[in-house]
Structure 1
Amino acid sequence: MNADISSGARALQLGRLGFGGAGIGNLYRAVPDSQASAVVEAAWDAGIRYFDTAPHYGLGLSERRLGSVLKDKPRQEFALSTKVGRLLEPKQGVLMGGTDQKAEQAPGAPRDSEGFDVPAASRRVWDFSERGIRQSIEESLERLGLDYVDIAYLHDADVHDLAGGIRDGLPALEKLRAEGLVRAIGVGLNSAEAALDCVEAADLDLVMLAGRYTLLEQPEVPLLQRCVEKGTGVVNVGAYNSGLLARHNVPDDAHYNYGQAPHAQLERARQLAAICGSFAVELPTAALQFGLRHAAVVNVTVGATAPEQISDNAARMAEEVPEALWAELSRLGLIPS
């Protein structure tokens, strides 16, 4: 699979495997600064050269942590994406300190309510306007400590205001690309239908699609074929379906779509694991590599909160998976022909 994307006369090299920065933004649980740095260093050492983050991830914590490591790397050797659409507005009376966000807060001051274990020192303010998008990029660069980002994605328009994102946000991103402020533009969404609307409305380089094309389930996704036709690359995220496919021996308490996996999905994952095992392939390896099998997909990006997770993912992506496994899964109707 060719993992190049072009914007004008230039191309970005994303590689097969990318690093997603939500985990080092304290998604669900706190991660120490030292561990977060070690994870990013492990990604670099594993040969990963595409890094994704967002202001949303830990109210800027992910961007600060990622930038603290990448600022010491040769800038021309990696591609970095962040997202626009949410501005971070500081709250009065909540003091922040350190990269770690160890806050000096009044007793009982709140924590973030959107899944990140950080103090609620800022509020997220939706803004798809050109002014808001430019401000978002500037503030991201300040948190990152870098001179530019390569890719800007309009973030989560499908859960806020898709029509406004298409009307205001996408033309603003096209303008930033034309000015050379970013090399590539795209959308980061959970809905394949909403992403298709965006692809039809604008000249996008990339779509970051979360959890809609995985080994576990491949609904009819017209988006993917349309991306092939328009030359829009797909960065596939959520390859493990929130953890359900992350272990070969699927536990009863496995998560799916950020909640407890239903019985039917547990059984399907175990069926997949058994078939993979008969070809001496572990379920997570097949899950990771399946994400690249569609012609539209240029990269699979996964998150991590420990260095060993990085090395494990890199090894799985490099492993040889026999074509006979894919043929068998197709014969059984578990993946498309």
Structure 2
Amino acid sequence: MTASTLSPSLPAKLQRAFSGLGVGTAQFGNMGRVTPERDCLDAIDTAWELGLRFFDTAPHYGLGLSEQRLGKALRGRSREAYVVSTKVGRLLAPNPSPQGSDEPHGFHVTDALTRVRDYTADGVRRSLAASLERLGMDAVDILWIHDPEEPTDRFEEALAGAVPELDRLREQGVISAWGVGSKDAAMLKRFVDQASPDLIMLAGRYTLLEQERVGLMSACLARKVGVVAVGVFNSGLLARDEPPADAWYEYGQAPDAMLARARELAAVARTHGVSLPAAALAFPWRHPAVVNVMAGMRSSEQVTRNQALAARDIPEAFWNELQSRGLLEADS
């Protein structure tokens, strides 16, 4: 794995960190289930030992818990040795009507805080200040505009407010780069076409299972916008060599058509002696716009497994057969 040279304007520190797997820390916020803090700290220790240096978090993840735990795990390490990114668009405020748990939003934490959507310039400044406090850091390297499509389209608000402020922060050297993170490829393309992001974080839409069809990847290539591919296992559907009947897709039960497609991919993989999860991790790197592939990791064991999968060689014949069977888009 090597980082793309697509965006030479990005600092060398980012280029180096992008060359290995990115470490996603939504699970540090107790996403899906409770993750003991010790597991989070051990995960970062193992990632560090394996040479991984790109870590991503967000206020959304466990109402700030992920940021707090990641900051604690990185404390004492040379700040010049790693890249950390967090997100803007959701401010955290006291919850006027707490119900006791944030589980309806997917996180097993108390709901003393609530998320307030804000894609204005002031919202960016306030969000960054609060994130730095939770992280215990004086700077982050990358800021992402987070999910501007949910629950309603906030593109115009972000374009008028967040984008100019992020441009200013980049110009002043407060951050090294900014981008937009979303699972909505069409929304991301609007930012690529109408703003000047350095990066986009595409969740689950350029994977072995499915490739976006709105021209986002080609637009990123043309505009020299680096792509960080996340959600490459499609919520777990590609995380095992044989997708089970109860596999998830988009954080819910996988539809029959998606399950059937995943099983066809698995069958081809078996004939080539390929691990399906390894192929899922390898696939995005084949596109020249991709500068990093990131996976969520909640324990030392998951870090070790993902790194081992990422190190496996995938024969070219495997990709060729997928193409010939129509299981990959023609220009993938």
Provide the TM-score with structure 2 as the length reference. 0.93
Provide the residue aligned with 1:134 in structure 2.
125
* Consecutive unaligned residues in structure 1, runs of 5 or more: 95-107
CA offsets per residue over residues 194-253 of structure 1, 9 Å max, x none? 101001121111000101111011242411111111110000001000000000021110
Distance of 1:230 and 1:152 partners within structure 2? 19
Provide the residue aligned with 2:169 in structure 1.
176
Pair 1:243-2:233 in alignment: no
Q: Is the 8 A contact 1:6 1:205 kept in 2?
A: no
Deviates more, 1:188-197 or 1:5-14: 5-14
Q: Secondary structure at the match of 1:207?
A: strand
Distance of 2:270 and 2:48 partners within structure 1? 30
Pair 1:221–1:300, CA change in 2 (3 A): farther
Q: Secondary structure at the match of 2:149?
A: helix
Q: Residue 100 of structure 2: which of 103, 109, 115 is its match? A: 109
Provide the residue aligned with 1:288 in structure 2.
281
Q: Is the 8 A contact 2:20 2:53 kept in 1?
A: no
Q: Is the 8 A contact 2:10 2:177 kept in 1?
A: no
Q: Secondary structure at the match of 1:30?
A: coil
Q: Is the 8 A contact 2:40 2:73 kept in 1?
A: no
Q: Is the 8 A contact 1:84 1:137 kept in 2?
A: yes
Provide the residue aligned with 2:147 in structure 1.
156
Q: Residue 39 of structure 1: which of 24, 38, 43 is its match? A: 43
Q: Is the 8 A contact 2:101 2:108 kept in 1?
A: no
Pair 1:167-2:168 in alignment: no
Pair 1:90-2:74 in alignment: no
Q: Secondary structure at the match of 1:157?
A: coil
Distance of 1:185 and 1:295 partners within structure 2? 20
Q: Is the 8 A contact 1:3 1:16 kept in 2?
A: no
1:50 is displaced (CA, Å) by 0.5
Provide the residue aligned with 1:70 in structure 2.
74
Runs of 4+ in 1 over 6 A off after TM superposition: none
Pair 1:314–1:259, CA change in 2 (3 A): same
1:109 is displaced (CA, Å) by 3.3
Amino acid at match of 1:213: Y
Pair 1:9–1:210, CA change in 2 (3 A): closer
Deviates more, 1:7-16 or 1:160-169: 7-16
In percent, how many aligned pairs have the same letter? Answer: 46
CA offsets per residue over residues 26-70 of structure 1, 9 Å max, x none? 101111111111112222222211000000000000000001011
Provide the residue aligned with 1:2 in structure 2.
3
RMSD, aligned α-carbons: 1.7
Provide the TM-score with structure 1 as the length reference. 0.92
Q: Is the 8 A contact 2:92 2:114 kept in 1?
A: yes
Pair 1:323-2:316 in alignment: yes
* Consecutive unaligned residues in structure 2, runs of 5 or more: none
Q: Secondary structure at the match of 1:113?
A: helix
1:170 is displaced (CA, Å) by 1.1
Amino acid at match of 1:120: D
Q: Secondary structure at the match of 2:229?
A: strand
Pair 1:54-2:54 in alignment: no
Q: Secondary structure at the match of 1:245?
A: coil
Distance of 1:39 and 1:173 partners within structure 2? 31
